[in-house]
Amino acid sequence: MATTIKSRTPNSAKTFTFARHETFHLRDGWLYKGMEAVKSDPELLYSKVAHHDLGLGINMMRSMRYWLQATGLVELGPKVTGIRPPYQLSELGKVIYEQDPYFEDIGTLWLIHIELVTSPRLATFWYWAFNEFSQREFSEDRLVEGIKQYCLDNEHSHIAESSIQKDARCFLRSYLPSVRPDTRALWDDRLDCPLASLDLLRRGTFPGQYRFHVGRPHSLSTKIFEYQLFKFREVAQPDQEVVSLEDLRWASMGPGRVLGLDMAAILEFVETLELKGSSVRLVRTAGLNLVTLNASRKSSELLREYYAGDLTRNA
């Protein structure tokens, strides 16, 4: 059963959500199908027979509806008294629907990954695993114990363990292919999540062990890094134009955590942006490595620049 709990402490507005995916990881084609449905009829996803129109089972339809929101592509519009708020494409959803509706560009997958793991309210487990979890190598049981402690630390003590276990399994299926190189299947469900192509998670040396792949992802473009860098500033440090390389590597919602980058990769991206005349500058002073970000630049501008043309996209 899905669980959504809002903290009852007066100083916390945290809302945690677990197991709203109906045990289904994101499937190829769902996001396009869902955005198309929202564009054609903002009320369709409320319908009890929407799954017939979408060609899905009812639980899969509910899962698709969840993933549309968790990846930041669809949101609820303004609520009118007595009427359910309509579903609508978010600003990110509008851009992707216009530019890459079939998710053929690997950069589009990076964008929805960024949205997913920076959404503690809608995708608590995904946010925690990338931003708060301190272990690079782990087992599924360790994931479960870690998120349970995180919930306790944030005064969410009544979340069903079954919901947490469902999220742990779904998280692994989101980033790992179903078949090992030797063609032996790990899961019965062979339909991989598109996010597995980002290579952010790998199997460990021993069965049941997993590890985050940290380094310099070959499919991550400089422009997507720049987008996430400015998004980090807007979300986590909106009043600052200067951030340290340490924060970029280790801070929650920073590029190191979100994109699986080590310090060398972050420095390489920053230096590349500086050489290209970007609004990012590296400042070395008094033994500190600082990065200055132009306050007038917005992540929304960088998003549209990414899709402006092949030369920009492949940079």
Q: What is the pLDDT of residues 219-244, one digit of tens each?
A: 999 999 999 999 999 998 888 889 99
Q: What is the mean pLDDT of the chain?
A: 89
Tell me: do 202 and 231 sit in the same domain: no
Last residue of a domain, one of 166, 191, 212: 212
Tell me: do 124 and 201 sit in the same domain: yes
Q: Report how many domains make up the chain.
A: 2
pLDDT band at 190 (very low <50, low <70, confident <90, very high): low
Tell me: do 51 and 170 sit in the same domain: yes
pLDDT beyond 80 at 266: yes
The CATH number of the domain where 255 resides is what?
Answer: 1.10.10.10
Q: What is the DSSP string of 269-284?
A: HHHHHHHTT-SEEEEE
Tell me: do 154 and 15 sit in the same domain: yes
Q: Can you give the pLDDT at residue 12?
A: 41
Tell me: do 132 and 258 sit in the same domain: no
Sequence-distant (≥ 6) Cβ neighbours of residue 165 within 8 angstroms: 144
In a domain, 217, yes or no: no
pLDDT band at 48 (very low <50, low <70, confident <90, very high): confident
In a domain, 81, yes or no: yes
Give percent of the chain with pLDDT exceeding 90: 74
pTM: 0.91
**130 to 17, 94, 259: CA distances (angstroms):** 16, 26, 9
Q: Kindly state the tokens that stand for 142.
A: 């360790």
pLDDT band at 270 (very low <50, low <70, confident <90, very high): very high
In a domain, 283, yes or no: yes
Structural domain range at position 51? 3-212
Tell me: do 277 and 162 sit in the same domain: no
Tell me: do 170 and 24 sit in the same domain: yes
Host H or E run for residue 119: none
- CB-based contact 32:103 (threshold 8 Å): yes
Tell me: do 73 and 192 sit in the same domain: yes
Q: Can you give the pLDDT at residue 2?
A: 60
Q: Can you give the pLDDT at residue 61?
A: 94
Beta strand pairing call for 288-293 and 74-76: unpaired
Last residue of a domain, one of 212, 240, 256: 212
Last residue of a domain, one of 212, 235, 266: 212
Q: Can you give the pLDDT at residue 217?
A: 95
pLDDT beyond 80 at 50: yes
Tell me: do 101 and 195 sit in the same domain: yes
- CB-based contact 254:232 (threshold 8 Å): yes
Tell me: do 108 and 257 sit in the same domain: no
Q: Kindly state the tokens that stand for 121.
A: 């309210």
